A = this chain, B = another copy of it.
């Protein structure tokens, strides 16, 4: 059983109730807790030593990253974060000064985003350090941006630049909260998610969530339009990685950028509005949603199928 098969088996078994507007499967759950004007967002996420950071990572950056990942999920709903609870699983004999430093990093990011930290459990780790953050947020009633609204013909956008996050950005990124809220308020966005597993890994999720029986969606992307980060180009040039920069941009994880679609007639309006509001943050129209399964990348030599490993027959 693969991880995806396991999730497919688990999901229909999860109990639900009348409070649930959107359950497991989107960036956050959306709940109805009785407020007239807003709904509640709910998310949990863990980072683990040896997977998401190393034993050498500065503890402030570990704390920052754990919260930032959850904040990115709130951003991906167009929401505003409110309160976090933290679970820290520590190996025996872990230095308390490092715990304080982890919280310094987490608290600083929380304070910058007006997030309260309202609980902090500490337990024994069965191995290295594990840091779990659960986060509550709010979104105007009915305003949450889901993964599931994309339509054939939509323009596909991505914020920022992709690839090479491992060089440092994955520990220090600032979640796109203002951008997410602005996109939600624009009323133009059909579907949105954050890119955490690489564009080639995440776009299929957005398309699958938006597909319906009888209407399977795909995408055509324009190679020249994919925003490649400077660090991904640098790493490719200096041989730090065997991956060409375009493959890094398509497949590296932990970009934490916003990936979304709007009707093609609204694309220019949205792009102009974004540039006025966020002049320092690139926004790229990278392609369009199609009504045919599969994701294809167009370059000077034609259209090639994109896989989660990049794209096939890349020379």
Contact = CB atoms under 8 A, between A and B. Distances in A.
B122 A125 contact: no
A68 to B, nearest CB: 15
| Central interface residue in A17, A38, A43, A45, by most chain B CB within 10 Å | A17
Interface string A272-306: 00000000000000000000000000000000000
B45 A120 contact: no
A49 interface: yes
Interface string A28-68: 11010111111010111111111100000000000000000
Contacts of A234: none
A186 interface: no
Nearest to A26: B119
Contacts of A136: 31, 33, 40, 42, 136
Interface string A4-17: 01110110011111
Residue among A50, A99, A134 having the largest count of chain B Cβ atoms under 10 Å: A134
Interface stretch (A108-116, A210-218, A307-315): A108-116
A129 interface: yes
A185 interface: no
B46 A121 contact: yes
B19 A119 contact: no
This protein's copies in its complex: 2
A89 B128 CA distance: 12
Interface stretch (A79-87, A148-156, A173-181, A254-262): A79-87
A218 to B, nearest CB: 27
Nearest to A96: B1
A100 B14 CA distance: 11
A118 B45 CA distance: 13
Contacts of A107: 13-15
A21 to B, nearest CB: 10
A83 B47 CA distance: 22
Contacts of A224: none
A29 B118 contact: yes
A74 to B, nearest CB: 13
A37 B125 CA distance: 40
Given A40-B40, A83-B29, A89 B119 contact: no
12 contacts: A6-B99, A6-B122, A13-B103, A15-B111, A28-B119, A29-B119, A35-B35, A42-B83, A42-B85, A42-B119, A43-B119, A136-B136
**4 A-B pairs with the lowest CB-CB distances in the bound complex, closest first:** A127-B127, A126-B127, A134-B134, A34-B35
Given A13-B100, A24-B117, A48-B126, 9 more contacts: A1-B97, A14-B103, A17-B115, A20-B83, A29-B118, A33-B38, A42-B83, A125-B127, A126-B129
Interface of A: 1, 3, 5-7, 9-10, 13-17, 19-20, 23-24, 28-29, 31, 33-38, 40, 42-51, 82-83, 85-87, 89, 96-97, 99-100, 103-104, 107, 110-111, 114-130, 132, 134, 136, 138
